[in-house]
Amino acid sequence: MLAALVALPVTAHAQWKPVEKVVTYAISGQSGLELYRSIGENGPNVGIARAIAYTNFKLTWGVRDYKPRGKDCVLTAAKPKLIIIYTLPSPSAPLPPAVQKNWEVFIAGVSAHEKVHGASMIKMVHDIEAATDGLTVADDPKCRKTRAEVVRRLDAISKARIQASRDFDRVEFGKGGNLQKLVLALVNGG
């Protein structure tokens, strides 16, 4: 019978900071409509469609220390390394002044939107730490059950982040949503 799981209180998480990177892809055009069409042709592939921008991440763990303690197993340390990559469009040529002004508003709004996705990735890592640091599984001297439990918890946290991200995008791109307004302002010139 699987022994009960006990999460030990953790007084402080390992100190870490995410690394944030911005990469751009080139778009062309001299009007808002041309720029938006170029985004549709050149934007990052996300699933079955192209996106305006995309935030991705790479999460690795420098140290994940599973320690047998008698018949139990404890996850005593797990130090994350999180790299967040923002992919944004960038005009390949100077824009006319009025279009440049509209572009600056558009890209600032898109960047702010992507930063929300980045913040959710940071929160996900903190949630993983809270759910696994000090995790103890009784009657697991080879730490197999503990590793399986860590995977189960990480999967649940990851799925919750993905759903929250989808819900956020649905609102932002929905009728009257912030990104819908930004696209319309860019395409319509103001």
pLDDT, tens digit (0-9, with 9 covering 90-100), for 79-135: 899 999 999 999 999 999 999 999 999 999 999 999 999 999 999 999 999 999 899
Between residues 49 and 138, the one the model is more confident about: 138
CA 137, CA 160: separation in Å to the nearest integer? 24
Residue 11 confidence (pLDDT) above 50: no
Residue with token string 């960038």: 90
- The neighbouring-strand residues paired with 91 are 27
Residue 3 confidence (pLDDT) above 70: no
Burial 122-151 (b: 16+ CB within 10 A, else e): bebbebbbebbbbbbbbebeebebbbebbe
Residue with token string 């030990």: 8
Contact 68, 111 (CB under 8 A): no
pTM for the whole thing?
Answer: 0.85
Between residues 97 and 47, the one the model is more confident about: 97
pLDDT, residue 14, reads: 55
Burial 157-180 (b: 16+ CB within 10 A, else e): beeebeeebeeebeebeeeebebe
Residue with token string 């949630």: 127
Contact 126, 157 (CB under 8 A): no
pLDDT, residue 2, reads: 28
Residue type, 92: S
pLDDT digits (tens, 9 = 90+) for 18-46: 999 999 999 999 999 999 999 999 999 98
Query: Mean pLDDT for the chain?
Result: 90
pLDDT, residue 107, reads: 98
